[in-house]
Amino acid sequence: MTAVWPDCSASTTPGVMVRDQLDYLVWIAEAIEPVGFHATDEVERWRPRIDRAYLALIDAMVPGHGDPLPPDVPPSVRPGTWPDVPSATIPGMTVRHQLTVIRTVSQACRANRAFPHQAGDIATWAARVQTAHDALDHGPALTMPADARTEPPPPPAPKKAPKRKAPAPPVKPAKITRPAQTKTKTKKTKTPERKQTAARGRKPAAAKAKQESKRAPKRKAQAPAKRSGAKPTRKSKKR
């Protein structure tokens, strides 16, 4: 028994799973519940079998398998008629109540895949389910329909290995942009002191230029050259 409960092999029936037996218990407990399902001459034969199935599934020490289940005892519809007849061994309980408990416990046992909590208990509870199934087995006269069967849930998807994140690129330091500086031209206003120094600087240059012009010798104007064949002037005639 390596599979997960209840999808494991039955205790004694070959080729049958515990899930199949629980499906049958849920279905048959409801199918034989109508009033008068079993005739009066059959009641005494079925009362101990219902009691045997009930005791196989009930365990007050196991959560979900205690008594009473359900909390509210179903009221009798027609006392003295199946299933509103006394239980075979439990005083104050009717067969209707036992059938309701068998259906409720079987549904919970089938849905809880974590039950039994320990692997060593699987064989024990598989045998108890086998006992309840054999007690309520009505043979080929009552065949469970296909829609009453349940299927095991799909296996959980394998966990994908987490993707390795690529290392983040190094963070470049942000460039510090300085605001452009605008050059403003400021007019220099000449103070009286600046004007005096400027005037003093210009005077020596002008005076120096005048002195150099005085020192330079005056050039004599050259006489015009005499032309050959020139006519004698009037003064020469008088001579």
pTM, two decimal places: 0.64
Per the structure block, which two tokens stand in for 194? 């600046």
Tokens of residue 139, six digits: 């043979």
- As given in the structure block, the two tokens for residue 131 are 């006992």
Cβ atoms within 10 A of the Cβ of 93, count? 18
Phi, psi angles (nearest 5°) of residue 86:
-60, 150
Q: Of 44-58, 96-110, 180-194, give the range with the top mean pLDDT.
A: 44-58
The C-alpha atoms of residue 178 and residue 197 are separated, in whole angstroms, by 41
Give the whole-angstrom CA distance, residue 227 versus residue 191. Answer: 67
Higher pLDDT among residues 227 and 143, named by residue: 143
φ and ψ at residue 17, rounded to 5 degrees: -100, 160
- Provide the token pair at 101: 């408990």
CA distance 193 to 105: 117
pLDDT category at 238 given cuts 50, 70, 90 is very low
Omega prior to 34 cis, within 30 of 0: no
What's the CA gap between 125 and 132, in Å, rounded? 11
Quote the pLDDT of residue 236.
47
Which one has a higher pLDDT value, 195 or 27? 27
pLDDT tens, position by position, 144-183 = 999 999 998 887 777 777 777 777 777 777 777 776 666 6
Q: Is the pLDDT of residue 51 over 90?
A: yes
Distance CA 106, CA 19 (A): 10
pLDDT-derived band at 222 (thresholds 50, 70, 90) equals: low
**pLDDT tens digits, residue range 83-142?**
999 999 999 899 999 999 999 899 988 988 877 877 788 999 999 999 999 999 999 989
Q: Is 165 helix (H, G, I), strand (E, B) or coil?
A: coil
Token reading at 165? 């994140």
Residue-level pLDDT at 52: 97
**What's the pLDDT at 53?**
97
pLDDT value at residue 128 = 95
Chain centroid to CA 221: how far?
115
**pLDDT given for residue 183 in this prediction:** 62
Is the Cβ–Cβ distance between 116 and 122 less than 8 Å?
Answer: yes
What do you get for the CA distance between the two ends of the chain, in Å?
174
pLDDT, averaged across the chain: 79
pLDDT of residue 209: 61
**Whether residue 217 has pLDDT greater than 70:** no
> Which has more confidence, 72 or 225?
72
Give pLDDT, residue 198. 52
